[in-house]
Structure 1
Amino acid sequence: MDSGSIVFSFFLIFAGAAVLASVALYTRQPLLIAYIVLGALIGPSGLAMINDTQLLSDIAHVGIIFLLFLLGLDMQPAHLAHMLRKTSWIGVASSVAFALIGYATGLLFGFSTQEAIIMGAAMMFSSTIIGIKLLPTTVLHHKHTGELVVSILLLQDLIAIMVLLFLYSNEGDSPTLAMFTALLALPLLLLFAFGFVKYLLLPLMGKFDRFHEYLFLVAIGWCLGLAELAHAIGLSAEIGAFIAGVSVATSPISQYIAVSLKPLRDFFLILFFFSVGASFNLALLDDVFIPALVLTILTLGAKPLVFKYCLSKSGEDASTSWEVGFRLGQTSEFSILIAYIAASAALIGTEASHVIQATAIMSFLISSYIVVFNFKSPIAVSDRLRRD
């Protein structure tokens, strides 16, 4: 793709997103819907105005990295450790329940045992992007509901990394070796991050804090640098970005960095949701619609119930338990990644891959509606619920 086509692609995406976002706001719909619909409309399976979606998807992945970095900036390490200890059993138990639902549904529709297992694995996770994007940053990130959502999502991300390592291992090392390497690398990365921030990064920022451009550049460099380091040692870039944020969270400069990077995060997230819609092959819709619809209904129905039950058992009140359940009541961007990797490794067929993708897209759409119309969020259509 040459530079001219990149500019033209960006023009189509952001001009189209502005038009559909205007329609969405006038019709009181969540903005995420507009970006996904735009991808399906002008992507390869639609009008084919943009065909090279892989490059855009790679660029959009940066949005997820920035999202996790900003999330880390809002989390105090000691409090995060406390919340993870409290919700660890909830994350594990709920993931097992969702995996069984996906596995049984796959077998019901005639997929092979291996395909059903991978479909079950893809159903275990909730969307980090939607879960956090729809959290009011000034209301819930520092309150109990937001802390529960974030801690469960983080534990799911760790489980997702293990699943991805297993899938990647089919192209190289054994899964046991890959997981062992990751478990060894995580504490080493934490030690490096906190040491680097304490003895080098914060002194530099403190010395030149009058130069806002410098702080902006250092923050981006630290986020992307630790993301790349994490990826190089067998972890995910997202985990590296989150650790980069947490390591700076105790500094007074963290809130300035968070405010400065929010527009950059939103730019890349628009590209991410566009790429989700553009990556789906509409020609296979007739073959995958019914199993995907059944799996979506089961996901949207089971996740709030399971989370409500588990959270109630841990002492949470009913209102908080239901809200957390509905906020986590979809599948994940990791589900799409699992489908892509498994299909590339010939572990599942094209139809099974598209069932997972279609389920993710439909659950994204419907879950966003449920949250935006019923709970506080930055893009709520009601003034009573809109919080940022």
Structure 2
Amino acid sequence: MDHGSALPFEIIIFLAAAVVAPPLFNRLGLGAIVGYLVAGIFIGPSGLAIFKDAEGTLRIAELGVVLLLFLIGLELELSRLLDMRRDIVGLGVAQLLVTTGGLSLAAYLTGFSPGAALAVGFALSLSSTAVATRILDERGHLTRAYGQRTFSVLLAQDLAIVPAFALIPALATGENFADPSSIIIKVAAALFMLSAIVVAGRFLIDPILRFIARNGGHEVMIAAALLLVFGAAIGSEAVGLSMALGAFLAGLLLAESSYRHELEINVAPFRSLLLALFFMGVGMSLNIHVVAGAWPYLGISLVVLIAIKMAVAGAVVRMAGSSNPDALRVASLLAPASEFAFVLIPLVVATRLIHSDVGQLVVALGVLSMIVGPPLIAGVERLARSLPRPDQHAGIDHATDLDGTGRTALVIGFGRFGQMAAQFLLTEGIETTLIDRDSDGIRTAARFGFKVYYGDGTRVDVLRAAGAAEARVILVCIENPNLSLKVVDLVKQHFPLAKVLVRSFDRAHSLALMEKNIEFEIRETFESSMKFGHATLRALGFPEDRVAAVEIDVRRRDIARLELQRAQGVDAGADLLHQTELQSEPLLEAEHEAIALNSEAAQAIEELAKKAG
């Protein structure tokens, strides 16, 4: 590398690989993750050796997994996590114990010592959070029943890593047995850190973000989001927890925050780049020479590994009530080895339970399972779709949306107008997301029971994070006409399936909106003016039918003027602005001469005849 260069050569190579590999492997039907893994092999020590420190690269790239878990936490809510506790404790523990037992037995039969077999079996029984959640996120199935069960198992595995770091040394011989008191201290430290994250998330973070939103800028919010995530992650790691678990908990606690969507869009770009680096780092860690020298052993081991993990996961989930297609989906998602295996296996080697060369083979096995995982998952998904759908009346709902939101409406701008418009949606129980960028207004709305999220509706990433892609209707209630038109353009371009209803500021704004093919627009003062004029004439003693006729005429002339202005410009239709007297016209021409039924009628007919003559 040329140290005099302002931009390191490795960064250029990484970005080039991140751009070329995903679309190429997506085109081949293998998926972007396999593309990143193969790109890592190509530019890593076993390939062109542009990146020589695979371990250091992985260490940095783990931050991508951290950000991924934080965003998943933001998508959940604490109440929903409590609803998942049975799956976490039941499915997660059962899958982990049975899979560890099966893999440990297989390792023991191939010549591993009992302690080494148990350690290696546990490390390989863990599943890749990065692969599974990335694929679920791309499918949009994180909130489906099988997606939630997959995530429950992954969360249970993350929790199991804490005692694993303490107990693996106890499997070694001699002086490496763990001191029970040290285990108690580590557990106590972990509980303390989790409590600190909970307290900070509940009582400190929201006021701090409110202060930043009011006094800082967009750049400060980005820095605050990253500081929040990495602070929770590093704090968790310091007490023996995984960084991903700390970040997930932080996201979970902020899932109900008004700043949830703002945090999500600020973190997402960094997550994508760091996840790309993570998968490349996994590819870099694969030693091609080791694989080439032991490919028959690794090939058989890979088949055994995936078969045991899929059989156990599928059976456990099926026994819990999932349908056959969903059991297959969960089994395939849990097949690839976990990123934490690359941390646990070096620990097993360090305790001398296995030789370093054997450790290289186990790491290679884990990497290979990650490489074959995405194509396997895609194939199983096609198979699952071809199977008969479960009977909904049998209590098995394979596509239930457990998100709890089912977002069907999005209201942008929650001032006085937006508040009143949203009342109709909320009264009918329609799931509605409300966003505004006034932090003080959001706080005020919370006092009246409204859940309003902080976000700038003129940014497409904010709209997407707020659920615009799933919304059936989008209400644009922004006061500023220019910003309103910008939002409408973004919505029509990126979310064309949503029906758009817009609050108009004045006639010029209405005319501009009429050109954008929206479903509905209304000037904010028009209807109130109509009601006000109606009440004024009634107060002057005019009968109701006469006042109603006047209102109909005013509305008709207003619509006619708008059409003229739309065709000829804003100055057109001035003659329609007012009229001295409403001229009533019959709907049909009279077919016979009028016949007077009394003297007053006769006098009226005579006067009409004089006017006509």
Q: TM-score, normalised by structure 1?
A: 0.88
Give structure 2 stretches of 5+ with no counterpart: 383-468, 471-613
**Deviation for aligned residue 1:119:** 1.7
Identity percentage of aligned residues: 25
Residue 123 of structure 1 corresponds to which residue in structure 2? Answer: 124
Report what 1:383 is aligned to. Answer: none
Q: What are the equivalent positions in structure 2 for 1:1-388 lying under 5 Å apart?
A: 7-136=8-137, 139-167=140-168, 174=178, 176-209=180-213, 211-375=217-381
Change (3 A) 1:296 1:116: same
Unaligned 5+ runs, structure 1: 377-386
Give, as a single letter, the amino acid of the residue that structure 1 aligns with 2:313: F
Q: Which has the higher helix share?
A: 1
Structure 2: distance between partners of 1:77 and 1:50:
41
CA deviation digits over 1:303-350, x for unaligned, max 9? 232222212222222222221121112221112221122223433112
Answer 1 or 2: which has greater strand percent. Answer: 2
Deviations 1:28-64 (A, max 9, x none): 2211112111222221122222212333222111111
TM-score (norm 2): 0.57
* CA radius of gyration, larger in: 2
Relative CO higher for 1 or 2, CA cutoff 8 Å, sep ≥ 6? Answer: 1
Which secondary structure does the structure 2 equivalent of 1:174 belong to? Answer: coil
Q: How many residues align?
A: 378
Pick which of 233-242 and 57-66 moved more: 233-242
Q: Is the 8 A contact 2:96 2:125 kept in 1?
A: yes
CA–CA distance in structure 2, aligned partners of residues 177 and 344 of structure 1: 22
Alpha-carbon distance between aligned partners in 1 of 2:46 and 2:107, rounded to the nearest angstrom: 25
Aligned residue identity for 1:312:
R
SS at match of 1:375: helix
**Structure 1 residue 124, shift from structure 2 partner:** 1.6
CA distance in structure 2 between the aligned counterparts of 1:12 and 1:227, rounded to whole angstroms: 28
- Could you tell me how far apart the structure 2 residues matched to 1:159 and 1:5 are? 44
The separation in 1 between residues aligned to 2:352 and 2:209, in whole angstroms, is 48
Distance of aligned partners of 1:107 and 1:234 in 2 relative to their CA distance in 1, 3 Å threshold: closer
Contact map agreement 2:126 2:157 (CA 8 A) in 1: yes
1:280 Cα shift? 2.1
Q: Contact (CA 8 Å) 2:349, 2:359: kept in 1 or not?
A: yes
C-alpha deviation, 1:182, in angstroms: 3.9
Q: What is the distance in 2 between the residues matched to 1:331 and 1:94?
A: 14
DSSP 3-state at the match of 2:125: coil
- 1:76: Cα distance to partner? 0.8
Contact map agreement 2:166 2:178 (CA 8 A) in 1 = no
Structure 1 residues 138 and 296: CA distance shift in structure 2, 3 A: closer
Q: Distance in 1 between matches of 2:176 and 2:242?
A: 17
Deviation at 1:173, TM superposition (A): 8.7
Residue 254 of structure 2 contacts residue 260 of structure 2 at CA under 8 Å; is this kept in 1? Answer: yes
Residues 290, 119 of structure 1: CA spacing in aligned structure 2 closer, same or farther, 3 A cutoff? farther
